[in-house]
Amino acid sequence: MEATVPILGMTLAGFEAAARGRGMVPPDVRAMYRRFHRTGEVPPGGFPSWVDDGRRPVHAVHVDGATAKFTMALHDGLETESVVIPMRHRDGSVTRTLCVSSQVGCAMGCRFCETAQMGLMRSLSAAEIVAQLHAARFAVEDPVAGATGFEIKNIVFMGMGEPMDNLDAVVGAIRTMTDRNAYGIAPVHVTVSTVGRTEGIRRYGDLLREPGFHRLNLAVSLNAPNDRIRSEIMPINRAEPIALLMAALLEFPKRPNAAICMEYVLIPGVNDAPEHCDEVCALLRPLRCSLNVIPYNPRRGSPWPAPEEERVREFVDRAIANGQFCKRRGTKGRSAMAACGQLGNAAIRNRRWVGVGAPEPAKEIVEIRVADA
């Protein structure tokens, strides 16, 4: 069987290189690539047999007529989950952020997270990650506009999985998403979140040192002011405690008018006391960072409820009084298990785990590290 090339996981330069080896001329290849990524259109006669267009069945659930959570079936019977989140601005305009998954399930075991209850099924390929953006742009219905597809401005790697445990695929996906011949997402509108994988943070920092990628963003799921609490709710902290995390963040590339986003899921009775706020502000003082307070969204079978709004407000106000730049993240999609920390398919929890490199149709391995100028 002829190996296929995953068009969704490639920059134009990589796709042209694969096409030249099959005798196709660059103008035709360039037009095919741009049309598919920019408009979702397939060539009139279909793609050549060596191209895998990566499109999969999509099922969407809309919340409050605006937030859209959608699942996409994969070749092996698993599925990804993604969320389109509307962001309303002070001038009344609305932009949309796409929250993408980098893995099916997650191995990190964070006690407050729905995805962690699945365990890790497998990592996604770059094409499977980009397919989530392609589906949001061209396959998911927008009931407000009465059309199919959303204009996506921001990409956040905050869905299922730990991006730093699948960094090669994540970087490959970012290269395609930001390719001006494809989706043209500005790097400043791309954020990768991590539980604190220090080696991954350093490798991601190397990408920011490449021309054109210095404005990519980093978010870190901190969620606790000290090792004792963090180790209780985030097992990764036992292997990579806060001191190691802080050291990696202090080495992370810095740029003017930008800061690392430190995420803090506020869990009642766990990390929401006034002294916790004071402690986390003192911890973050050496960093150039913002503190993003996220009211806990209960997972299935959660031992904790969502926090009271007054408690959230008190925590945010106290952080600001401590001199820490702090924002409260709005809660969207909680009723449909589409909010932060709620992605995960309960139906596949009991399946046998598959390897990170799950069997799939043969693909041609093509170098995709070329960034177009």
Which of the residues are catalytic?
340
Beta strands 260-266 and 217-221: pairing type?
Answer: parallel
Which single residue is written with the structure tokens 């660059």?
A: 26
**Rg, Å, the chain Cα set:** 21
For CA atoms 111, 271, 338, 98, the dihedral sign is negative
> Hey, is 213 helix, strand or coil?
coil
Separation of first and last alpha carbons in the chain: 35
Give start and end residues of each alpha helix (H) in the chain. 12-20, 26-39, 126-138, 167-178, 198-208, 227-233, 236-239, 242-251, 274-284, 309-321
- The beta strand positions in the chain, using DSSP E, are 5-6, 51-52, 58-63, 67-73, 79-88, 94-99, 103-105, 120-123, 141-142, 147-148, 154-157, 190-194, 217-221, 260-266, 289-295, 326-328
For residues 325 and 258, give the distance between their C-alpha atoms in angstroms, rounded to a whole number. 12
The CA angle 133-134-135, to the nearest 5 degrees, is: 90
CB 244 within 8 A of CB 202: no
